[in-house]
Chains A and B, each alone.
Chain A
Amino acid sequence: GDSVTQMEGPVTLSEEAFLTINCTYTATGYPSLFWYVQYPGEGLQLLLKATKADDKGSNKGFEATYRKETTSFHLEKGSVQVSDSAVYFCALGVMDTGRRALTFGSGTRLQVQP
């Protein structure tokens, strides 16, 4: 079945450091890929998405590139801020299997220190 594997957290960085959160996937069919973010006390929010190979999703300084050859969708940001502290979830959805639901990874907690 479909699955998403994320690097375990917490990831602790100093402000302005470079961030990478690894995400790899297995999927039956051709997935769309997503990063969701969950800030403390809030619901999940879509951060960015990519729908086909080599697409780059970007938002709020975060980027992720859909790499079909390595089945990866790693999240990156060049300079993190304290306000980026949250839990980040990688997810996939496969339209051509008829499913509409997303499959999520277990999440990676990011802590950014001033």
Chain B
Amino acid sequence: DTGVSQDPRHKITKRGQNVTFRCDPISEHNRLYWYRQTLGQGPEFLTYFQNEAQLEKSRLLSDRFSAERPKGSFSTLEIQRTEQGDSAMYLCASSASAGGMNTEAFFGQGTRLTVV
């Protein structure tokens, strides 16, 4: 296993277009997270899945954002009607459930979105 994989690595889109990102977690990990990171800031939590269930969503996740993890493996994050403020690095992370927060979260390299 090569770790958490994200695709694409870079995406440039015009304002108003829809974009979709994919994340493939480490295969035995049942927890999957999406974060957003803007320049000079730390990652901000967007949403969290345990298996296929989306258990938590941040208030940052507006109605234009939707995430799925249909079979409890890979996940997609879609942004509809993109805005320039959506420009950021979108990070995916996965972890194994072991009773609590002690479990390390492994991060992908991220998808950098630029909305022009």
Kindly supply a per-residue 1/0 record for chain B positions 43-56, scoring 1 wherever the CB is within 8 Å of any chain A CB and 0 otherwise: 11100101000011
**Interface size for chain B: under 10, 10 to 19, 20 to 34, or 35 or more residues?**
20 to 34
Complex interface: stretch among A69-77, A78-86, A89-97: A89-97
Contacts of A46 in B (CB 8 A): 104-106
Contact B107 A43 (CB under 8 A): yes
Q: How far is the CB of B41 from chain A (nearest CB, A)?
A: 5
Kindly supply a per-residue 1/0 record for chain B positions 76-116, scoring 1 wherever the CB is within 8 Å of any chain A CB and 0 otherwise: 00000000000000010100000011101111111000000
Q: How far is the CB of B105 from chain A (nearest CB, A)?
A: 7
Given A32-B101, A43-B110, A95-B100: A101 in contact with B40 (beta carbons within 8 A) = no
Contact A93 B43 (CB under 8 A): no
Docked pose: A45 CA to B33 CA in angstroms: 15
Docked pose: A32 CA to B3 CA in angstroms: 23
Size of interface on A: residues with Cβ below 8 Å to B: 26
Contact A106 B41 (CB under 8 A): yes
Contact A43 B43 (CB under 8 A): no
Kindly supply a per-residue 1/0 record for chain A positions 9-46, scoring 1 wherever the CB is within 8 Å of any chain B CB and 0 otherwise: 00000000000000000000001100010000111111
Q: Can you list 25 A-B contacts (CB < 8 A)?
A: A31-B101, A32-B101, A41-B109, A42-B109, A43-B4, A43-B108, A43-B110, A44-B91, A45-B107, A49-B102, A49-B104, A89-B42, A89-B43, A91-B42, A95-B100, A95-B101, A100-B48, A100-B50, A101-B33, A101-B35, A101-B56, A103-B45, A104-B42, A105-B42, A106-B40
- Residue positions of A touching B, CB distance < 8 A: 4, 31-32, 36, 41-46, 49, 51, 89, 91, 93-95, 99-107
- Residue positions of B touching A, CB distance < 8 A: 3-4, 31, 33, 35, 40-45, 48, 50, 55-56, 58, 91, 93, 100-102, 104-110
